[in-house]
């Protein structure tokens, strides 16, 4: 027993000596370096994170409501003569009236809810002197006449204009003409190859409190929620407080990892959060800034499905499930059952990869697809069109 106590005392003494030597030499333990890196990143980039406020004017809500009611009554008038000429005119007219009345009550309820909840709050981060990146769902009402403003950590508020919305990826860009930002996220520094279990951090303002840092861990890649056509979310255990969708996710050293998009939980169990990867965010941002719009090259009239090797679970190609016989895809010679394995001469067997190649292409151009049909490997030239939001 005495020997055990001596050993414990000796180990404690050695630990104290080691920590003392580290302190004198300026070397910090790993956990101290990690905490310090988060603090440095937070203090450097928190001024670049902005609160976004979207307010739909009540006059806009009422105008939309009146427009919907007018269209509903026009529908009633259009079909009244038709039902009165049927075999059971009284019963049919009564059913039509009941249906129209039900729809009017539902529209009125929606109007009242929108008048009470005509504000949307989100987050975003500056990427240069005049532009802020955020989530498209935060500002989608702005295209219908809503007012958008951004505010910094000192409650300075600036009017914002929607530069572009990419409905393929869920990324949006705001232009702030009345401000020149001095602090912004360095988009030349991306962390796109972090391993699962790597630590990441975010900067959020929970419940209108000042910006605060939060850390978590990457739990997986290539997650899908089916909210947008092009998705490959990073799964994390970072918190996502209400009104902070669009917040940046960073590595402890300050590299951009992605943008907060959504969260999922069941009951009172801990939530899982999903992050749009930084390279996908930047692809959309660059396209919006360069073209001034969010149009993408697209192949209409074709339904695609990812094929996976059942043994290795690796992508095995992209199945053409259905084709509109009047579409450019059909005109090129593609057929249902074809398996796409390449784009523009390069191997591409992932549906997400094919979609990404398309959105980076210029609309109204011809692209080549490598296809496996039975025992043959063929190449087809397919005309693209512009797919606007």
Does the domain made of 28-50+123-128+167-172+182-293 have the CATH classification 3.30.70.260? no
For the cut 60, the answer to whether the pLDDT of residue 6 exceeds it is no
Domain ranges of the chain: 28-50+123-128+167-172+182-293, 58-116, 296-387
Tell me: the pLDDT tens digits for 296-347? 788 888 888 888 888 877 888 999 999 988 888 888 999 999 999 999 989 9
Confidence (pLDDT) at 142: 60
Residue, of 109 and 122, whose pLDDT is higher: 122
**Architecture (CATH level 2) of domain 296-387:** Roll (2.30)
Work out the pLDDT band at 292, boundaries 50, 70, 90.
low
Confidence (pLDDT) at 389: 45
Tell me: the pLDDT tens digits for 150-206? 988 888 889 998 898 888 888 999 999 988 889 999 888 888 888 898 999 999 988
Mean pLDDT, rounded, for 278-285:
90
Three-state DSSP string of the chain: CHHHHHHHHHHHHHHHHHHHHHHHHCCCCHHHHHHHHHHHHHHHHHHHEEEEEEECCHHHHHHHHHHHHHHHHHHHHHHHHHHHCCCCHHHHHHHHHHHHHHHHHHHHHHHHHHHHCCEEEEEEEECCCCEEEEEHHHHHHHHHCCEEEEECCCCCEEEEEEEEEECCCCEEEEECCCCCCCCCCCCCCECCCCCCCCEEEEEECHHHCCCEEEEEEEEEEEECCCCCCCCCEEEECCCCCCCCCCCEEECCCCCEEEEEEEEECCCCCCCEEEEEEHHHHHHHHHHHHHHCCCCEEECCCEEEEEEECCCCCCEEEEEEEEECCCCHHHHHCCCCCCEEEEECCEECCCHHHHHHHHHCCCCCCEEEEEEEECCEEEEEEEECEEECC
Mean pLDDT, rounded, for 42-71:
83
Q: What is the pTM of this model?
A: 0.69
């Amino acid at each position: 027993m005495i020997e055990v106590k001596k050993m414990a005392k000796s180990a404690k003494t050695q630990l104290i000596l080691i920590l003392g030597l580290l302190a004198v030499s300026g070397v910090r333990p790993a956990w101290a370096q990690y905490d310090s890196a988060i603090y440095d990143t937070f203090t450097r980039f928190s001024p670049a994170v902005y609160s976004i406020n979207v307010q739909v004017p009540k006059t806009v809500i009422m105008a939309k409501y009146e427009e919907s009611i007018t269209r509903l009554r026009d529908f009633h008038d259009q079909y009244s003569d038709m039902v009165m000429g049927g075999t059971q005119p009284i019963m049919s007219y009564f059913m039509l009236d009941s249906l129209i009345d039900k729809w009017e009550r539902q529209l009125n309820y929606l109007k009242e809810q929108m008048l009470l909840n005509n504000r949307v709050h989100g987050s975003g981060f500056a990427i240069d002197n005049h532009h802020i990146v955020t989530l498209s769902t935060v500002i989608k009402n702005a295209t219908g006449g809503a007012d958008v403003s951004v505010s910094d950590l000192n409650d300075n508020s600036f009017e914002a204009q929607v530069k572009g919305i990419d409905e393929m990826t869920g990324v949006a860009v705001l232009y702030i003409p009345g401000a020149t930002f001095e602090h912004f996220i360095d988009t030349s520094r991306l962390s796109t190859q972090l391993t699962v279990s790597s630590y990441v951090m975010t900067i959020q303002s929970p419940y209108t409190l000042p910006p605060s840092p939060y850390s978590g861990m990457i739990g997986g890649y290539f997650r899908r929620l089916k909210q947008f056509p092009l998705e490959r979310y990073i799964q994390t255990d970072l918190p996502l407080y209400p009104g902070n969708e669009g917040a940046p996710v960073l590595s402890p050293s300050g590299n951009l990892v992605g943008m907060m998009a959504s969260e999922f939980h069941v009951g009172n169990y801990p939530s899982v959060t999903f992050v749009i990867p930084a390279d996908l965010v930047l692809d959309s941002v660059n396209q919006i800034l360069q073209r001034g719009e969010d149009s993408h090259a697209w192949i209409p009239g074709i339904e695609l499905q990812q094929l996976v090797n059942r043994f290795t679970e690796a992508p095995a190609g992209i199945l053409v499930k259905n084709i509109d016989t009047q579409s450019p895809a059909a005109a090129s010679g593609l057929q249902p059952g074809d398996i796409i394995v390449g784009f523009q001469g390069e191997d591409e067997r992932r549906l997400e990869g094919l979609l990404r190649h398309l959105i980076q292409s210029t609309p109204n151009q011809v692209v080549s697809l490598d296809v496996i049909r039975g025992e043959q490997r063929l190449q087809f030239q397919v005309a693209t069109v512009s797919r606007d939001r």
